[in-house]
A and B are shown apart, each in its own frame.
Chain A
Amino acid sequence: MRMTLETWIKKAEGYLATDTPPSWADWESDEDHPPGLFAPARCDSRAGTLRPDVGPEFYEWADLILCHQDSHGAAILYQILWRLTHGEKNLLRIKTDDQMRRLELMCRAVVTDIHRMKGFVRFKKILLNGIETYGAWYEPDHFIVPRVAGFFRSRFALMRWVIFTPGGCLFWDCHRLRFGPGLARDPGLRDDYDDLWQTYYKATFNPSRANPKLLRAHMPQRFWKNLPELRGFNSPV
């Protein structure tokens, strides 16, 4: 499960306060405060009030990195924070630094995933407890569902909708957004407009310009099974 930014900041502040270098910091355990020899109790009282002043950009990055499915993100962030507060205050500008590059790649993966989810979710008109609802099944690569919620809420505010994902479900009842536990399998929803959409997809492309490599680069094949326009194709060309 994803570590929240608040939890991460609290822990990071604790470690910084006790001058714990990155190689000593433990980001795997679930405890709220830094465990071990060097963690004095006073860490907790300072938590959340004293963000190390490394600029808002760092925290925007941190928020994205913590969405990444690779749980090493928390530790890498602390390495960066440590260096920022130990004489390398311009580190965020140095895009050639190896740790910064790793961070940037992870960040880009999350941003891409967010962008894809906005585009590739496919709603089906269904009845849920007897009420008309637009339901979708989606499998994101990273823990991004909460970050994408606002996009769907503002765009489809007058529709009841639900997005099922393995990591958690998102419900909108026209008033309130709720998060629920994930769904293990594709619920197999169907919609009459899927066929029309596939009809459109087939007709809107010019065969003399076919470029399957580019198609796969933009829309990796693992997404195809949930896209009605590509259902039934191993390769559309």
Chain B
Amino acid sequence: MELSEKLTILSDAAKYDASCASSGAQRRRPVNGLGDARRVGVCHSFAPDGRCISLLKLLFTNYCIYDCQYCINRVSSPVRRAAFTVDEILTLTVEFYKRNFIEGLFLSSGVMVGPDHTMEKMVEAARRLRLEHRFGGYIHLKVVPGASPELVREAGRWADRLSANIELSSQEELDRLAPGKTHQNIESSMSQIQRVIGPRQDQDRGKRPQGVLVSGQSTQLIVGATPAPDRLILEKADRLYKRFALNRVYYSAYSPIPHESGDLPSARVPLMREHRLYQADWLMRFYGFRVEELVSQQHQNLSLRQDPKMSWALAHPEFFPVDVNAAPREMLWRVPGIGVRNAMRIAGIRRYHPLRLGDLKKLRVAVKRARDFIITADSMPMRCPSRLVEPDRPRKTGETQLELFEAPVSAVTGEF
């Protein structure tokens, strides 16, 4: 099979992994080597879905012994199969890098023979890139759950980032859709990765154990392939962040794959749901929100209509209005429409003069959203926040939902 044909099959098969981050590693070019890594990665292109392309994202092979129903590469799927040789992966990575197409390589794989066999191949590709090509660019390796700790450790010598996908939010869902996969297995891979990386405090200070390159791990969770509500998903993510010091959890809205199994929803999950999960995740990591402030027993799902911070604010009129000229920063960034960055700027400016509504506009605060929650030098809330919006209706399955993005013809036909 020709290289371009393999590339088509094995990048098409890899596109369901959302991560394309190349930030976080900082490394000078190796002596006599090619490439370096920057603290802030570079986007070399943007896909037609608007996502940054910074890594060459490939599967080593799409042959797989597993039969995960949500996965296009499951053993029972009738897709065309292919496998790269290690040399082909090295050539593509190095030649693409030299032309400034990419920041590096993201290598994942279907599981052939067994976890160790597959992991060995991926580690070999990374090792040979580093040693034979003296490649200094970014490498992200997927860890196959069940691979031996020695292989995970070696992967950590060559890769900047490792990740094991948690796939679904509970074991029951895995049992139903991904026979043979267990959270115990996946989480034990995560904890192996964490041991290789070392404690989070050291990680934040850029300190790493001798001979270790890897500086972070992430995971991915599929949303909407099962009825699991956002509450379960966010609670799972929160536990993973805390237990394994993950850098990122990626949420991937399930979109029906060709030749899908009958156990799955045939409609795609609204991308808005995925978007809301990312917003909630962001609020948890950078804004000091706790999971139970965003979702609860009564409200199991995030609202699709309004962002999670707005939902929280509407449910907590007792916190408002907030005086932008006096309130502590942590309170400022809880106001809908004011982010952490602008909260800091506001705190910087108000030492010199009191802020008016017009000033907030200049800072690009979303004044329309914020104004009912704040007091400025020249304005008071006009309406009582608790009466702003009727409470969100619970989400029914099959209900038509808002869509964030336009769906042009190509989305239906699949034509480029």
Contact = CB atoms under 8 A, between A and B. Distances in A.
A90 B92 CA distance: 52
A233 to B, nearest CB: 9
Contact of A207 (B42, B46, B414): B414
Contacts of A155: 29, 35-36
A122 B100 contact: yes
Contacts of A199: 4, 7-8, 11
A196 interface: yes
A51 interface: no
A51 B96 CA distance: 45
A179 interface: no
Interface stretch (A29-37, A54-62, A215-223): A215-223
Main secondary structure of the interface of A (DSSP, over half): helix
Contacts of B256: 208
Nearest to A134: B98
A119 B50 contact: no
B227 interface: no
Contacts of A171: none
A211 interface: yes
Contact of B101 (A122, A158, A208): A122
B349 A203 contact: no
B43 interface: yes
A42 interface: no
B306 interface: no
A237 B34 CA distance: 35
Given A200-B7, A204-B11, A214 B50 contact: yes
Contact of B16 (A90, A123, A206, A230): A206
B56 A210 contact: no
A61 to B, nearest CB: 16
A95 interface: yes
B32 A158 contact: yes
A188 B162 CA distance: 40
A202 B100 CA distance: 18
B46 A209 contact: no
B3 A94 contact: no
Contacts of A218: 43, 46, 50, 52
B363 interface: yes
Interface stretch (B184-192, B384-392, B401-409): B401-409
Given A93-B349, A156-B34, A204 B100 contact: no
B99 A93 contact: no
Contacts of B95: 193
A196 B5 CA distance: 10
A145 interface: no
A217 B50 contact: yes
Nearest to A205: B47
Interface centre among B47, B92, B268, B271 (most CB of A within 10 A): B47
B42 A119 contact: yes
Main secondary structure of the interface of B (DSSP, over half): loop
A204 B35 CA distance: 23
Contacts of A230: 45
Interface string A79-114: 000000000001001111010010000000000000
B48 interface: yes
Interface in A179-237: 191, 193, 195-197, 199-215, 217-219, 227, 229-230, 236-237
B42 A210 contact: no
A122 B100 CA distance: 6
Contacts of B407: 208, 210
A194 B9 CA distance: 18
B349 A197 contact: no
A122 B98 CA distance: 9
A134 B29 CA distance: 18
A193 B43 contact: no
A164 B34 CA distance: 22
A22 B8 CA distance: 60
Contacts of B353: 94
Contacts of A101: 362
A151 to B, nearest CB: 8
B48 A118 contact: no
A207 B416 contact: yes
B362 A123 contact: no
Contact of A204 (B32, B53, B355, B411): B53
Given A210-B408, A211-B406, A237-B416, 7 more contacts: A120-B45, A122-B100, A125-B98, A197-B99, A204-B57, A211-B405, A215-B50
A-B CB proximity, top 7 nearest: A214-B50, A209-B49, A205-B47, A96-B359, A203-B12, A203-B11, A218-B46
30 contacts: A94-B352, A95-B363, A96-B355, A119-B54, A134-B98, A134-B99, A152-B100, A154-B36, A156-B98, A157-B29, A158-B32, A193-B96, A193-B99, A200-B11, A201-B47, A203-B8, A205-B48, A205-B49, A206-B49, A207-B415, A207-B416, A208-B268, A212-B48, A214-B405, A215-B47, A215-B49, A219-B46, A230-B45, A236-B416, A237-B410
Interface of A: 90, 93-96, 98, 101, 115, 118-125, 134, 136, 152, 154-159, 191, 193, 195-197, 199-215, 217-219, 227, 229-230, 236-237
Interface of B: 3-4, 7-9, 11-12, 14-16, 28-29, 32-36, 42-54, 56-57, 92, 95-96, 98-101, 255-256, 268, 271, 345, 348-349, 351-353, 355, 359, 362-363, 405-408, 410-411, 413-416
